[in-house]
Amino acid sequence: MKVLESAPDRYDAGIRILTLGRLDKAYDRLTSYIKRGQKVLDIGCGTGALTLRAAQKGANVKGIDVNLQMLEIAQKRANKMNVTQNVEFCVMGVAELDGETSESYDVVMSGLCFSELTEHELVYTLKELKRILKPRGILLLADEVRPTSLSKKTFNWLIRLPLVIITYILTQTTTKGVENLPEMMEREGFLIESVSSNKMGNFIELVGKKPEE
């Protein structure tokens, strides 16, 4: 979604049009796992779509992102929604997760950010999330993934091509769906509680848990 991030003011409207409002519903489902008083981290929080939902539920949320302009919009939205007392936004990338205290979060969540990370960053991030989550802590993810069947792969490639070209022209970067996200999570020691994918197989909602140990 880098093409939308190049114009942060229009990000929220753009994503709503592009996903036909389905992302909002996915985020509502994911944040239904969050409870009042929990300590929550939102990775790549952008304009605060997940952060603010969790804050409205009474959680104490830290939203981190590398894009200051996106965070400024998130902060303005938090002010408007009167949830500033339980949100904190930080300019911080996943590479700085090592500064977070071990076993300190009840929930970590992320929407549409893992697909912007390199495989190396993703593996590092999952390791760090396992470290900073409390035992039985929850990992909530919604992201673009690469379909597994050949027909869905081909269809996905065809419909994404124009977006990939426009994104590359505007930002000289691109995003690609994450490959084998549930398997990667399992490799890093998470238990998979639920996975649901859309019909095209290019978007999943995933609930994982750090084992008790």
List interacting residues with ligand SAM (CB under 6 A): 1, 5, 44-47, 49-50, 64-67, 70, 93-94, 111-113, 116-117
Judged by CB, which is closer to ligand SAM: 28, or 149?
A: 28
**Pairing outcome for strands 105-111 and 133-144:** parallel
Judged by CB, which is closer to ligand SAM: 68, or 191?
A: 68
Give 90's DSSP letter: E
CB atoms under 10 Å from CB of 191, counted, come to 14
Tell me the closest approach of the beta carbon of residue 112 to ligand SAM, in angstroms: 4
Q: How many angstroms separate the first and last alpha carbons of the chain?
A: 37
Judged by CB, which is closer to ligand SAM: 41, or 64?
A: 64
Tell me the closest approach of the beta carbon of residue 57 to ligand SAM, in angstroms: 17
Give 35's DSSP letter: -
Within 8 A by CB and 6+ apart from 65, the residues are 44, 45, 46, 71, 74, 89, 90, 91, 92
Judged by CB, which is closer to ligand SAM: 90, or 136?
A: 90
Residue closest to ligand SAM, measured at CB: 46
How distant, in Å, are the alpha carbons of 1, 59, 114, 204 from that of 106? 28, 10, 20, 22
Tell me the closest approach of the beta carbon of residue 47 to ligand SAM, in angstroms: 6
Tell me the closest approach of the beta carbon of residue 156 to ligand SAM, in angstroms: 17
Judged by CB, which is closer to ligand SAM: 90, or 159?
A: 90
Tell me the closest approach of the beta carbon of residue 143 to ligand SAM, in angstroms: 9
